Amino acid sequence: MNGKGTEHARRLIFSFRGTTLTPFLREKLERGLAGGVILFSGNIESPDQVRELTTRVRSLSPYPVIISIDQEGGRVQRIRWDGWVLPSAREMGKTMSPREIEQRGRHLGRKLSEVGVNVNFAPVLDVSGGDEGTVIGDRSFGETPEEVIRCALPFSEGLSRGGVIPVGKHFPGHGVTDVDSHVELPRSSISREELQQVHLPPFGAFVRRGFPALMTAHVVYEALDPERPATFSRVILEDLLREKLGFQGVTFSDDLKMAAVKSNYSFREIAEMTVEGGPDFLIFTGPEEEQGELLEEVIRAGRRKPEAGERIIQRVLRFLSLLPRP
């Protein structure tokens, strides 16, 4: 898998089992055929172990690598050691001032940086629909765009000041969806006007503040693109996010193992859409055999269409050069 197209391999973020790297992932990192890793609770034992693990990841790759985690607070936090646990976004929004939220974010950023994590998939920028039946629920800071902006931006600033890059999610807004994309592909019928007035403002504020990364939603927004979920929609990722909102940073897919994607698209289709203009980074936490299949398809797609992904590769390289080191 050498030669033209391999630069697209650096767009792939893989998971692994256990508290040490697997031979598969070691080999991919050594050959520059992975952009980084995402850590889950099964990879985490103690601060010293995580620090040793992340040092090993960085030492293997000839390039800067992403070492990422989902550490939002509440029900989504992979590390639950004493001094690390945060309340849910909803609770922080109701009980803390923006300054207190910034301090919590900064403390978390420092802790993550100390163990070698450089990217945190937080905060959630989705505006909650106010219904406990929705998927996002208490992961959202509030039920209005103003509430979300008031809390999510200080949290992001804190993470940055602590030494970790925040990734806002899930563009263009997952807050009113009652179908879990882990299970099936959600479709949203909310109007273009509601998206613009309610759900997009937190993302617009995040972009204007200069944060360099967003995560996409595996949701079909019928008013914008009735054919493809946001993750693979040029209308949403290019026309809306880059042209209208002026975003110059990178996009991460949500996990491509989710049924919303994996049950609807083959690896070849995912690779084709990715090279043509999908998310800049692809997160995939499936079995290693499938990780290898996706990697091969992405490289093949890059070879078939060498001109198509040039702007994406430039964004990826620019982002990797920004990664903070512990």
Give the pLDDT of the chain (326 residues) as one tens digit per residue: 445 679 999 999 999 999 999 999 999 999 999 999 999 999 999 999 999 999 999 999 999 999 999 999 999 999 999 999 999 999 999 999 999 999 999 999 999 999 999 999 999 999 997 655 567 889 999 999 999 999 999 999 999 999 999 999 999 988 666 555 555 678 888 899 999 999 999 999 999 999 999 999 999 999 999 999 999 999 999 999 999 999 999 999 999 998 778 788 999 999 999 888 889 999 999 999 999 999 999 999 999 888 778 899 999 999 999 998 77
**CB count, 10 Å around CB of 7?**
17
CB 172, CB 115: distance < 8 Å: no
How many alpha carbons lie under 13 Å from residue 18 in its C-beta half-sphere?
6
Nearest to 230 by CA among 276, 261, 203: 261
pLDDT score recorded for residue 156: 98
Parallel, antiparallel or unpaired: strands 12-14 and 36-39: parallel
Q: Which residues contact 61 (CB under 8 A, 6 or more apart)?
A: 29, 30, 32, 34
CA distances from 102 to 83, 107, 122, 188, 191 (A): 16, 9, 13, 32, 33
Distance CA 312, CA 283 (A): 16
Reading the block at residue 31, the tokens are: 């050959």
Torsion angle defined by CA atoms of residues 206, 66, 92 and 103, in that order, rounded to the nearest 10 degrees: -90
Phi, psi (degrees; rounded to nearest 5) at 188: -110, 130
Residues serving a catalytic function are: 182, 254
| Amino acid identity, position 240 | L
Q: Are 220 and 226 in contact (CB under 8 A)?
A: yes
| Six token digits for residue 300 | 């093949």
24: phi then psi, degrees, rounded to nearest 5: -55, -50
What distance in Å separates the CA atoms of residue 271 and residue 292, rounded to the nearest whole number?
A: 13
Domain limits, the chain: 6-320
Q: What is the CATH number of domain 6-320?
A: 3.20.20.300
H or E element: which one contains 316?
A: helix 310-322
Helix (H) or strand (E) holding 206: helix 201-208
Task: Give every CB contact of residue 93 below 8 A, 6+ residues apart in sequence.
Answer: 101, 141, 142, 147, 148, 150, 151
